[in-house]
Structure 1
Amino acid sequence: MTSPYLAALNTATKYPSIPTYHALDPKNGGLLDRPTTFEGDVILTEKVDGTNGRIVLLPDGDYFIGSREELLYAKGDRIENPALSIVEALKPLADRLKPRDEHGQIVMFFLEVYGRKIGGAAKQYTGHGSLGYRLFDIACLLPDVLDWPREQISTWRDNGGQRFCTEATLQRAAEAEAIELTPRLETVPGEWLPTGIEDMAAFLAGRLPVTRVALDEGAGHQPEGIVLRTADRSVIAKARFQDYTRTLKRRANRR
């Protein structure tokens, strides 16, 4: 990617990392007894184990499709990269999306593309090579951001510069565009969330015993985990089964 504009667009529209519900130990990748603090209602959604895709919709109707790290396709075949089936999965959706922001903002649709041969968990969602996607976030930004130096853009993005939709707005947009969201499991008061690692492992198993996004009858149905978020998305965290299993096994071996 040589164009300064495309480089800035790519940097500004990447999805920021979501922290784990219990902090990760930088020494061994295990979980620490430091849970995320939530206040008020917390929305629980399934975390789908695929690859992060994005549709970047410009105010003039132009669009780009990208992976988590790079732009893969531009409207009119100006860029084309078939990596991880992301373009194949998302191009029909991108073709029918229309600019919806009256303030001239760039709108980003963030989706999990999964199934087929995407990652080691693909077989949990399909036994027949099916491919699917689910919308999990929408954010926007003003085009002026693209005039900044790339390092400044990265810092801005990683410190919450992108303006994400609230849960209510996200649901309305998904309905208006006929896009399936990642499954909404339950809404619970923040004080109900477990603080201990063992208790959180049990909480996950009780809320999501099997995936809700299987693509066909041949799927293995083992889920990846849950995303926890406030209605205004001011606090968001993820809890993955494998992190809790690994941490509890390591603790048991020490005894």
Structure 2
Amino acid sequence: MTIPYLAALNTATKYPSIPTYHTLDPKNGGLLDQPARFEGDVILTEKIDGTNGRIVLLPDGDYFIGSREELLYAKGDRIENPALSIVEALKPLAERLKPRDEHGQIAVFFLEVYGRKIGGAAKQYTSGSRLGARLFDIACLLPDVLDWPREQISTWREGGGQRFCTEATLQRAAEAEAIEMAPRLETVPAATLPTDIEGMAQFLAGRLPVTRVALDEGAGHQPEGIVLRSADRSVIAKARFQDYARTLKRRANRR
């Protein structure tokens, strides 16, 4: 495969940015009283503090493993980069995946790789060197996208061009492939979600007092936060404990 093709594939299969549930203030990184707007049922899942990994599965069965920013490995050892233990964690799964779309689409499995010295929160999940990976999304795209200029691909991706699985399809795929998912915490009506900063801080503490993905008993068990998704995945947002703690502390200091 040519370098331009790999560059396009990398750009097209990156995970798009997820906005925060309350808008971030560009001036100081705090939260503003502007919550995301959901309708219907909202699915709450644990947000794991690790590193984003992806398995890019081509229609012919070829595959690539990547981090959030770059491709690290290609089937048959054509590319190999051990960064952040992502390849070690995801290669066994990539080796057994089979093309899942008869229409020739590229499937991208997004997983959070966590534990073993991955980021400052590693000790919250393991007291040693254990490594974990949890599926949190699957997207599909047509290979024709790879013929576009990279700038156009980036705009398409960040504008919602990737077709993500609904919650029901995601769960069926995870079950069929025997992949552990990011923990599903609860499904709640959108009308019950707090709209204020303090209310959401309390909501987080009540729904996720400790992480559900600790890899051993010696872990610290402190969670990062929650991801909120509409059932059809048309709206998605993240709420992190540290963002709310920082914002409330700043507000208290002003009084």
TM superposition score category, shorter chain reference: over 0.9
| Structure 2 CA distance for aligned equivalents of residues 118 and 104 of structure 1 | 35
Deviation (angstroms), 1:128? 1.5
**Residue in 2 that maps onto 1:45:** 45
- Residue 252 of structure 1 corresponds to 252
In 1, the alpha carbon distance for the partners of 2:71 and 2:104 equals: 21
Task: Find the counterpart in structure 1 of residue 117 from structure 2.
Answer: 117
Deviation at 1:248, TM superposition (A): 0.2
CA distance in structure 2 between the aligned counterparts of 1:69 and 1:118, rounded to whole angstroms = 16
Counterpart residue identity of residue 190, structure 1: A
Indicate the SS of the match to 1:212.
coil
Q: 2 CA distance for matches of 1:30 and 1:6?
A: 37
| 2:103 pairs with 1:103 | yes
TM (norm. structure 1) is 0.99
Mapped to 2, the partners of 1:107 and 1:155 lie a distance apart of 19
Q: CA deviation at 1:201?
A: 0.1
Counterpart of 1:6 in structure 2 is 6
Q: CA deviation at 1:239?
A: 0.1
Structure 2 equivalent of residue 173 of structure 1 = 173
The correspondence of residues 69-148 of structure 1 with structure 2, limited to 5 A, is 69-148=69-148
Q: Which runs of 4+ in 1 moved over 3 A?
A: none
Secondary structure of 2:23's match?
A: strand
Distance 2:157 2:40 in 1: 26
Q: Which amino acid aligns with 1:242?
A: Q
2:140 counterpart letter in structure 1: C
Query: Matched residues in 1 for 2:100 and 2:182: separation?
Result: 22
Q: How does 1:24-43 map to 2 (within 5 A)?
A: 24-43=24-43
Amino acid at match of 2:78: R
Unpaired runs of 5+ residues, structure 1, are none
Equivalent in the alignment of 2:56: 56
- Aligned 1:144-223 pairs, distance under 5 A: 144-223=144-223
Partners of 1:90 and 1:249 in 2: CA distance:
39
| Mapped pair 1:243 → 2:208 | no
Q: C-alpha separation between the residues in 1 aligned to 2:239 and 2:217?
A: 26
Q: Shift of residue 2 of structure 1? A: 7.2
In structure 2, distance between residues paired with 1:92 and 1:161: 29
Post-superposition offset of 1:129 = 1.1
Q: Structure 2 CA distance, aligned partners of 1:92 and 1:85?
A: 13
State the identity as a percent: 90
* SS of residue matched to 2:132: strand
Q: CA RMSD in A?
A: 0.9
Any stretches of 5+ residues in structure 2 without a counterpart? none
